[in-house]
Structure 1
């Protein structure tokens, strides 16, 4: 009986000490004194597996996290793409990779870092990127960058929204004549332009709602709902401001079409 009591007492002491240790760890983490380091695990094999590269989403990351992830991708693939990089991180990241080729897409707040020997592939795919207004350009430009990094030729047509629809027809006709494989249409406010384009063209259209707009249905909500309720067939829709997703979707389509074209010519 005494042995059992001693055993139970030891177990209670272990539990108490364990709870105390956990409490100290939590307190340390909350006070910022924890010595643990958050690891980054970049997916260097994503492009080979998926056909689309990993993109570092910079907006919510600390500078050192961005640098660590970029180092991993550069080591594995020779290139690192950073979307929505915070302004405060731009100079430190440039400095960290001063021996590399660093490109900055100012409107999209996107950075691409290449190892000196990296050569971007060309797939033969062709993506069109249309914006309804100039306010939609940052998100449209993000989509264009991603499609380019996936090997596509990209043609951009900006500020041709429904308030002046006559501006759309000639450049849209040129896109079709030039053999575009997929079209991204970025629009905020009423979000009407993607439906208009989808009703006029025989290629897939990706609707890209932007957070431009105010009042009831503002911040892209009305634009998103309008695109989801489209009557025009052939329009797929990504989430609000998801330029990366739109660029990847359009490039996957265009690259698949380019592969089929190449097989036909063989």
Structure 2
């Protein structure tokens, strides 16, 4: 359920083309649908602009498939942190569902996605950061924003970044993803005017503390305008970037 669907229902009731009882039936599942193990938040897109997304980690394959089945009736569906086993189970029931093994996402598009002119640039320090970048890219696209990935341009070979700066500066919002010490976000923050959402990753040797070093480095960045999300949270970064892009469109 989103605002355009709700407006259509209310207008149809108002002009008499939809009986009140049928209108009530269409609204019966608001604000959530209780399927036993899960309460699906069908009202979320009305509150914050984006529908609920399935977080696959910790759920059984059967639970994810059940949630998927109920959410398909209400629009496009995105599931994140999906294991190969869960993906295989869901796709055995819904073969049209697409699985991105790098991003660990499942996607199903019921209504064609309309993209605006604005673009989100996703930049990674290393190839090892690609799973987080792919999760961000899939999320951006499912939420209606175009996104591109520029990979492996970290500070260990800074000339690789400079070679791509012209393209990077064309984007409206930047998502910068890095592990190790997380320095890439600060470097880019000193070179561009766009808002930057930094994502620390758990990539790195022992003293990186599974992403904590990158997180603290990004939080203490001397480059102004760098916002930081949690470790490996490509999904959260994409949601923030898409909200910024929506404001730019308006």
TM range (shorter): 0.7 to 0.9
Q: Normalising to structure 2: TM-score of the pair? A: 0.82
For structure 2, list consecutive stretches of 5 or more residues without a partner in the other structure: 1-34
Which residue of structure 2 lines up, in the alignment, with residue 81 of structure 1? Answer: 78
CA distance in 1 between counterparts of 2:150 and 2:165 reads 8
- 2:61 is aligned to 63
The answer to whether the Cα contact below 8 Å between 2:38 and 2:67 also exists between their aligned partners in 1 is: yes
Tell me which residue corresponds to 2:150.
157
How far is 1:38 from its partner?
4.2
How far residue 67 of structure 1 moved from its aligned partner, in angstroms, is: 1.1
What is the rounded CA distance, in whole Å, between the counterparts of 1:84 and 1:204 in structure 2? 26
| Distance (Å, rounded) in 2 between the aligned partners of 1:217 and 1:182 | 27
Partner of 2:165: 172
SS in 1 for 2:238: helix
Give me the whole-angstrom Cα distance separating, in 2, the residues matched to 1:146 and 1:105. Answer: 12
Distance in 2, Cα, partners of 1:114 & 1:153: 16
Distance in 1 separating the partners of 2:118 and 2:53: 20
- Gapped runs of 5+ residues in structure 1? 1-36, 260-266
Distance in 1 (alpha carbons) for counterparts of 2:93 and 2:47: 29
User: Alignment partner for residue 239 of structure 1, among 227, 230, 245?
Assistant: 230
Alignment-derived partner of residue 213 in structure 2: 222
Taking the aligned partners of 2:109 and 2:144, their CA distance within structure 1 comes to 15
Looking at structure 1, the residues matched to 81 and 70 of structure 2 have their Cα atoms a distance apart, in angstroms, of 19
Could you list the structure 1 runs, at least 4 aligned residues long, displaced by more than 6 angstroms after superposition: none
Give the whole-Å Cα distance in 2 for the aligned partners of 1:130 and 1:162: 12
Cα distance in structure 2, aligned partners of 1:175 and 1:122? 19
Residues 12-161 of structure 1: pairs in structure 2 closer than 5 A: 38-77=36-75, 79-98=76-95, 101-115=96-110, 118-161=111-154
**CA distance, structure 1, for counterparts of residue 103 and residue 237 of structure 2:** 14
Contact in 1 for aligned 2:84/2:101 (Cα 8 Å): no
Residues paired across the two proteins, number: 216
- Residue 170 of structure 1 deviates from its aligned partner by 2.6
| Corresponding residue SS for 1:217 | helix
**Contact preservation (8 Å) 2:132, 2:233:** yes
Tell me the SS of whatever aligns to 2:149: strand
Give, in angstroms, the shift of residue 39 of structure 1.
2.5
Query: 1:258, 1:175 → 2: CA distance?
Result: 19
Q: Offset of 1:194 from its aligned partner?
A: 0.6
- Distance (Å, rounded) in 2 between the aligned partners of 1:142 and 1:60: 18
Q: TM-score, with normalisation over the residues of structure 1?
A: 0.78
**3-state DSSP of counterpart to 2:207:** coil
SS at match of 1:219: helix
SS at match of 1:255: helix
Contact 1:56 1:81 in 2 (8 A): yes
- Equivalent residue, structure 2, for 1:183: 174
